[in-house]
Structure 1
Amino acid sequence: MRILGASLVAAVAAFAASTSFAASSIEKSLMKLDPVERAHQACVVKGLQVVRKDKRLSKADRIMPDTFGRAKLDGNTVLAKGAAVHVGTSWYSLSFECTVTEDQMKAVAFTYQLGDAIPPETWEEVGLWH
């Protein structure tokens, strides 16, 4: 479900920046997910908005919350210590904390720490791609 959910929401999120239609599409896509996965994906959408404000990550196009360990939902907070962010032709380790609404439909806060580049020879092993 992780890849399907991530792909579903990521595809819609890419389109969401410019249309209200996409916003309702994101909501419909999120409602199809279980609450934990919905919270994770709401954080992915918010996370991309936030990290793109960082000069180093301005071209980020994907966040994978579960690369090196499952992100955890605790109340309304998602903690991801083993996430990854894709920028250009590279992946970087990422940890983040994200607060979601009670219904897990929207992330209202997102803070992160950027880690090191992930060596390409390990990508396949952890579910990343070129």
Structure 2
Amino acid sequence: MRTVFASILATMFVLDATAAAAAGSLQKSLMKLEPEERAHQACVIKGLEAVRRDKRLKAADRLMPDTFRRARFEGNMVSAKGAAVRAKEHWYALSFECTVSDDQTRALAFSYKLGDEIPPEEWENAGLWK
């Protein structure tokens, strides 16, 4: 479910056909989730926006916060030390810190550290794909 929803959110973010309508629809979708999941998804959206500013990750199209271990949600902070990001059919290890709004529908701040490329032979065990 998490992977499918993250993909839907990423697609909505990329298409951005009508920003205002999409934002309203996205917020309604997020409000259907539990607060922790809502925070994770808000961070995925903000995270893709942030990592795409990095010349190494301009083509990033997926960010998975729980690839190698569960991201933590405490207060208004999501901390992921076992995340992964995909760009041009390559996966990279990622850790990030993300601050979300009180209702967990918006990420207010996102900082990250890019790790090494994840070898394709490790993808299946990590739940990653091409």
| Contact 2:7 2:62 (8 Å CA) reproduced | no
- Give 3-state SS (helix, strand or coil) of 1:95's partner: strand
| Cα deviation, residue 25, structure 1 | 1.8
Q: For structure 1, which segment, 5-14 or 65-74, has the greater mean C-alpha deviation from structure 2 after superposition? A: 5-14
Q: For structure 1, which segment, 12-21 or 70-79, has the greater mean C-alpha deviation from structure 2 after superposition? A: 12-21
Give unmatched runs, 5+ long, in structure 1: none
- Give 3-state SS (helix, strand or coil) of 2:96's partner: strand
- The residue number in structure 2 matching 1:88 is 88
- Taking structure 1 as the reference length, what is the TM-score of the superposition? 0.93
- The residue number in structure 2 matching 1:50 is 50
- The residue number in structure 2 matching 1:30 is 30
| Cα deviation, residue 37, structure 1 | 0.6
Q: RMSD value over aligned CA atoms?
A: 1.3
Q: For structure 1, which segment, 87-96 or 26-35, has the greater mean C-alpha deviation from structure 2 after superposition? A: 26-35
Instruction: Give distance in 2, aligned partners of 1:41 and 1:48.
Output: 11
Give unmatched runs, 5+ long, in structure 2: none
| Contact 1:99 1:109 (8 Å CA) reproduced | yes
Q: For structure 1, which segment, 118-127 or 105-114, has the greater mean C-alpha deviation from structure 2 after superposition? A: 118-127
- Percent identity, aligned pairs only, is 61
Instruction: Give distance in 2, aligned partners of 1:16 and 1:104.
Output: 21
| Cα deviation, residue 60, structure 1 | 0.7
- Give 3-state SS (helix, strand or coil) of 2:48's partner: helix
- The residue number in structure 1 matching 2:105 is 105
1:125 is aligned to 2:125:
yes
| Contact 2:83 2:95 (8 Å CA) reproduced | yes
Shift of the 17–38 alpha-carbon distance from structure 1 to 2, 3 Å rule, reads farther
Q: For structure 1, which segment, 37-46 or 8-17, has the greater mean C-alpha deviation from structure 2 after superposition? A: 8-17
| Cα deviation, residue 40, structure 1 | 0.3
Shift of the 109–116 alpha-carbon distance from structure 1 to 2, 3 Å rule, reads same
Aligned length: 130
| Cα deviation, residue 20, structure 1 | 1.8
| Contact 1:8 1:29 (8 Å CA) reproduced | no
